[in-house]
Structure 1
């Protein structure tokens, strides 16, 4: 577009002196840009009455002061963006102002496009930085979880062995103090301490995603409804409880015992948050987590889930600590009122099951914690009736393989008290010659984690090769990855977790022998 110019002459009018002007000269470029043909001789207020005051004030200032001006302006009529300059011709009495201009629309559009591009690039950089930061946080969390998992695994292995020694000897001692009420009470108190220690180790393994799960296809709605009586007893009569189970509920794939433990933990936390008075709501429904949601959350894939929500009307959690509640040993309860492992256990179990956990909380309003468990299309596994434990002993021969001398001695005595013949070995390598000796062995009872080049699963395989009818029962305070893969106990594997009671030992030994 050519550069244009015009000369304007100020006029007196109804609005006062110098309140209007006419164009006395203009080139073709002016008419094209202004969108007003035949502009010569026309008064401004008649051409553009809505814009006249602004133009008259601007050019009137040039006329009165003699000071040139430069400015940029978009014309309403044409949408063109102009660079303009104006200066006075002669004196103020001459009433003449010259205006020069050129079309800057292309430059303005290019600048806006560049600015938009820069804003887009900046937004992308910010987004990439946020994504990188999220990835770093996710990596740090994964590394932290791996470290915690290794730490808790090692601690659980040794700790549960110690608990097994204490527990086994206490149970052996029980028969020696029958009738001594004071001694029996002390043994009972000591056994309660063992159980608390075992629970602590179990919760640590759950948070570290190292517990052996036995997932099944479950209807979470039916499972939750079946817990109603237990939950009512746990939260007390002063708390109103409501269960909302949606129709057409999908099946989930998870360990039903751990689901029950998680819901019970959440219900007890809710009870404490409400100080024993309020409303607890448990909802079960189908849910879909889309790609947009999954992109914002680490360690979860989009898909279909079964959602279990536990809501309370309690005190709520301050926003500055809500992200810390899943950390082990972190608790919002008063000192001595909680271990800080309940929510971390829930978190670890759900993550180990391929699910997701989300918490919503508002101070003074309450808290909702949602558990998402992966959906499966398989039919629900038929729940077995109450397990009848056969705690009778027997006369069969059992090979006990255990690297801890005191654990081995304790379990040997427990088994002999049950009537069994017991052979012992301190590791898999020393157990193999006994299996190859031709001695009749009915059951291999072996620890999972032991030193030496021969691993327990391999020992079990070799035992089956040599004695096809032999029973196999594993035991451990921590399974490592020997018989647990993907967080799940390998198929057809029997595991007795340490520390175990005399009754459970008797029942699982009998079960393994009967399965042969």
Structure 2
């Protein structure tokens, strides 16, 4: 399998972070030479040759200060016109391979903190995401087998509970790994429209019945909340975790307020929500009157294994996982706190509008299915065929290329990323060069198989991370063809 994009000299993750940063930003290597920069920086330096220049000289950085930089200790200095510069290292695995540098007017320190925190979370997410491919292939085969078993054993009550037990344990195994593997990555489980009011009513019922009587639970849920598209179990997990944290922050009497609001982010308030795209959102808020969190701890609150609780009373993974779930739903989590007064968490999740449904016949729809895991491929083929799709199975990218350029015209290509001879991404690139524009689903056991730029440039219609549930795959297939 080609892994070129993950080699240090490619810097694909660093480029993604730089390009998503609204502040002027550059990236320079260990040799101190500037390698690339974003549009904001280019806009301020249109007539200046930057690439290849020594970063220390260009920004007047004392060379000895570079030794002070660590992931927990970014270097800051004040330049001309009260401009603050921040330098933070970029890691490939545990190895330092370069540095981010961005700057801003000190009139907007909150924006800088948001960007720095976002970059730190991206780096931590990379460290947690490398081990999933083989394990997720196995889980996908288990889920596929279970789906077929349930359909074939409709009237077998004597074995139904065994199948349900296997499915339950498999889902738990998936959740355990995704808690770490999905950190900061857009790979949640199957999404459905979620009614926020119903979700919050269920949450409040549990919280009211189980929290101590000296803690007053206040709810503020207006009518007319917009639906969101997400995984209701994961959103519930996020909100429950925040409520539990709020309870533990209140030592004696206190209040926990749970709110929700429809929020429109546009040009008028984009600066206050710099990491969110314009559009409609639902904001969930959990507010407590507890002891508060220090400014020092606020900067580390979403890091894995960090906890303000006493030893052996918490794993330090609660907010780490919460951050990952929110990012996986294309949302954002904000926190404000003051010692002695309390803490407020705001969760922003994009709103969902019901699309116009069309009845599409599956008759004569041809799907090319490519995966070198024969058991998984045959299971998925059988499941798709049970819905009247015609499935052509191949086992590597070279066979896909031959089939689609010489033999048939297909309606859809489902292709695995990790295959021998020619991997999925290379195959798609070669097909696009020959003007084959077949709608494409890329499946992968790795959270970092392709970045957003590659997905867009190669016209990949969907990316599914293993282990996916068959209903999730079927939903995507129906939308595409």
What TM-score bracket applies, with the shorter chain setting the length? 0.5 to 0.7
Q: Is 1:280–2:257 an aligned residue pair?
A: yes
Moved more, 259-268 or 201-210: 259-268
The residue that corresponds to 1:232 in the other structure is 201
SS at match of 2:302: coil
C-alpha separation between the residues in 2 aligned to 1:487 and 1:397? 23
- 8 Å Cα contact 2:189/2:468 also seen in 1: no
Structure-2 change in CA distance of 1:353 and 1:234 (3 Å): closer
CA contact (8 A) 2:400 2:427 kept: no
Q: 2:180 aligns with which of 185, 192, 204?
A: 204
CA contact (8 A) 2:256 2:287 kept: yes
Matching of residues 358-437 of structure 1 within 5 Å? 358-360=335-337, 362=339, 366-371=342-347, 382-384=353-355, 394=363, 396-437=365-406
Select which of 466, 475, 478 maps to 1:498. Answer: 466
Q: Say whether residues 1:154 and 2:130 are aligned partners.
A: yes
Q: Deviations over 1:141-188 (max 9, x none)?
A: 788655543344333333322210111122223345443434211221
Q: Which residue does 2:241 correspond to in 1?
A: 269
Shift, 1:401, TM fit: 1.0
Distance, in Å, in 1 between the alignment partners of 2:283 and 2:256 is 17
Shift of 1:445: 1.4
Distance verdict in 2 for CA 1:358–1:488, change over 3 Å: farther
> Quick one: distance in 1 between partners of 2:120 and 2:397?
33
> Is 1:270–1:314's contact at 8 Å kept on the other side of the alignment?
no
- Give yes or no for contact 2:144–2:380 (8 Å, CA) kept in 1: yes
**1:292-321 Cα shifts (integer Å, max 9, x gaps):** x99xxxx979x9998946234376566486
Query: Aligned to 1:257, what secondary structure does the other structure show?
Result: strand
Q: Aligned in 2, Cα 1:227/1:400: closer, same or farther, shift over 3 Å?
A: same
Provide the aligned length of Structure 1 versus Structure 2.
362
Give the match's secondary structure for 2:450.
Answer: coil
**Aligned with 1:154: secondary structure?**
coil
Q: Which TM-score applies when normalising by structure 1?
A: 0.52
**CA 1:311/1:488 → structure 2, altered by over 3 Å: closer, same or farther?**
farther
* Alignment-derived partner of residue 172 in structure 1: 148
Q: What SS does the aligned partner of 2:467 have?
A: coil
Check conservation: 1:265, 1:342, Cα contact below 8 A: no
Question: Which residue, 285, 288, 294 being the options, matches 1:313?
Answer: 288
**Inter-partner Cα distance in structure 2 for 1:213 and 1:169:** 18
In structure 1, distance between residues paired with 2:300 and 2:452: 29
Greater C-alpha radius of gyration: 1
The question of whether the paired residues in 2 share the 8 Å contact of 1:330 and 1:341 is answered with no
Indicate the residue corresponding to 2:18 in structure 1: none
CA distance in 2, matches of 1:417, 1:352: 31
Contact map agreement 1:402 1:447 (CA 8 A) in 2:
yes
> Do the aligned partners of residues 474 and 486 (structure 1) sit closer, same or farther apart at CA in structure 2, a change above 3 Å counting?
closer
| Alignment match, 2:428 | 459
Secondary structure of 2:441 counterpart: strand
How far apart in 2 are the matches of 1:278 and 1:488? 47
Which of the numbers 474, 477, 480 marks the counterpart of 1:509?
A: 477
CA RMSD of aligned residues (A): 5.6
Distance of 2:478 and 2:348 partners within structure 1: 38
Distance 1:281 1:186 in 2: 39
Measured in 2, the distance between the counterparts of 1:352 and 1:207 equals 11
Spell out, residue by residue over 1:176-226, the C-alpha distance to the aligned partner (whole angstroms, 9 max, x if none). 544343421122122123333334444434423354899xxxxxxxx99x5
Please report how far the alpha carbon of residue 232 of structure 1 lies from its aligned counterpart in structure 2 after TM superposition.
1.0
> 1:361 touches 1:368 (CA, 8 Å); kept in 2?
no
In structure 1, runs of 5+ residues without a counterpart are 1-124, 215-222, 375-379
* Cα pair distance change 1:389/1:449, threshold 3 Å: farther
Question: SS state of the match for residue 413, structure 2?
Answer: strand
Instruction: Measure how far apart 1:506 and its partner are.
Output: 3.6
1:106-255 maps to which residues of 2 (within 5 A)?
135-136=87-88, 145=121, 148-209=124-185, 211=187, 226-236=195-205, 239=208, 240-243=217-220
Higher relative contact order structure (alpha carbons within 8 Å, sequence separation ≥ 6): 2
Matches within 5 A, 1:296-375: 308=283, 310-313=285-288, 319=294, 323-328=299-304, 340-341=317-318, 343-346=320-323, 349-350=326-327, 357-360=334-337, 362=339, 366-371=342-347
**What is the alpha-carbon distance in structure 2 between the residues aligned to residue 193 and residue 489 of structure 1?**
39
- Shift in Å, 1:493: 1.3
Q: Write out per-residue CA displacement over residues 27-75 of structure 1, whole angstroms, 9 at most, x where no aligned residue.
A: xxxxxxxxxxxxxxxxxxxxxxxxxxxxxxxxxxxxxxxxxxxxxxxxx
SS in 2 for 1:310: strand
For 1:334 and 1:191, the matched residues in 2 are separated by: 34
Contact (CA 8 Å) 2:416, 2:442: kept in 1 or not? yes
Normalised TM-score (structure 2): 0.55
